[in-house]
Amino acid sequence: MESPFNSNALRGKVALLTGGGSGIGFEISTQFGKHGASVAIMGRRRNALDGAVSALTSLGIPAVGFEGDVRKLEDAKRVVEATVRHFGKLDILVNAAAGNFLAAAEDLSPNGFKTVMDIDTVGTFTMCHEALKYLKKDGPGKTASTGGLILNISATLHYTAAWYQIHVSAAKAGIDALTRNLALEWGTDYDIRVNGIAPGPIGDTAGMSKLQPDEINNNTRESIPLYKLGEKWDIAMAAVYLASDAGKYINGSILPVDGGLWLSRPRYLAKDDVKKVSRSVEKRSRAAPTGIPTSKL
């Protein structure tokens, strides 16, 4: 689809994206690059990073990939600093790395709960913390009169409640709380805008295949007010909007992009089906960037 934004909307910007090598994160990386930004992506799998960087550079986008785990402080620090060394500065941080799987609360181990919290919530804070000095309007490499931007990708699960998603709901609620608090503190102190995007069910993503697998027919489209799944492009366009001058006065906002699904009641799946499907999907997609190894559950 053709972008509604000018191709120079992000010209001269440097963006670092965790989880930027696949799924929604890669689409945001692509659209940032198509709108003029230089892009650094961070991920745990070297092969995936190399493939993503190759795809980006084939489009004429200045891109580099850094291997790292957002759960590790030393990785976060190293990747942020490497991005600045490579491109000379940092203007935008997008926290898109995530973990997810279906599990009833009584079957979820504390370690499984902690793993998702560590990737989503703690990882988001860690990346923000390490990027702070470069995002300040007077930070190293900064020449603009304003500070940078942080975009945190969360979800709408915690707006009401979601079956078998207690770990992810808690993690995403934490991300939204981080977004608002950092927007207040760092917007006031450093002129850094901090906003969030809360995607709904997005087609052709690893997360969708794990949470809405083919084994379960739950008529997802019929439960969404707009009667269709979202596309990765929809999330990327929201990100471009918030990162561009069009969003220059938006701070502390979390934008749901879910077709209005969060307005309806949660969907219910039989517990036995959840257990069976969750395990089978995990075995097939253990290497997926949004996945958690079965041993962690």
CA gap 101, 297 in Å, rounded: 9
Q: Are 239 and 32 in contact (CB under 8 A)?
A: yes
- pLDDT category at 222 given cuts 50, 70, 90 is low
Helices (H), 191-249: 206-211, 220-223, 232-243
Q: Are 84 and 64 in contact (CB under 8 A)?
A: no
CA gap 255, 133 in Å, rounded: 26
Q: Are 94 and 239 in contact (CB under 8 A)?
A: yes
Give pLDDT tens digits for 12-35: 999 999 999 999 999 999 999 999
CA gap 269, 164 in Å, rounded: 9
Comparing 263 with 69, the larger pLDDT belongs to 69
Which has the minimum average pLDDT: 122-126, 152-156, 177-181, 290-294? 290-294
What's the first-to-final CA gap in the chain, in angstroms?
Answer: 39
Strands 63-67 and 38-43: parallel
pLDDT exceeds cutoff 50 at 215: no
Domain regions of the chain by residue span:
14-260+268-291
Instruction: Kindly calculate the radius of gyration of the chain based on its CA atoms and give it in whole angstroms.
Output: 18
Per-residue pLDDT, averaged over 171-175, amounts to 98
3-state secondary structure of 43: strand
Give pLDDT tens digits for 253-269: 999 998 888 887 655 55
User: What DSSP string describes 120-170?
Assistant: IIIHHHHHHHHHHHHHSTTSTT--SSS--EEEEE--SGGGS--TT-HHHHH
pLDDT exceeds cutoff 80 at 101: yes
Across the chain, where does the E strand assignment appear? 14-18, 38-43, 63-67, 92-95, 149-153, 193-199, 254-257
What confidence score (pLDDT) does residue 297 get? 44
Cβ within 8 Å of residue 58, ≥6 positions away: none
Confidence (pTM): 0.86
What confidence score (pLDDT) does residue 288 get? 44
Closest CA to 236 of 98, 29, 60: 29
**CATH 3.40.50.720 corresponds to the domain 14-260+268-291:** yes
pLDDT exceeds cutoff 90 at 200: no
Give pLDDT tens digits for 226-262: 556 789 999 999 999 999 999 999 999 999 998 888 8
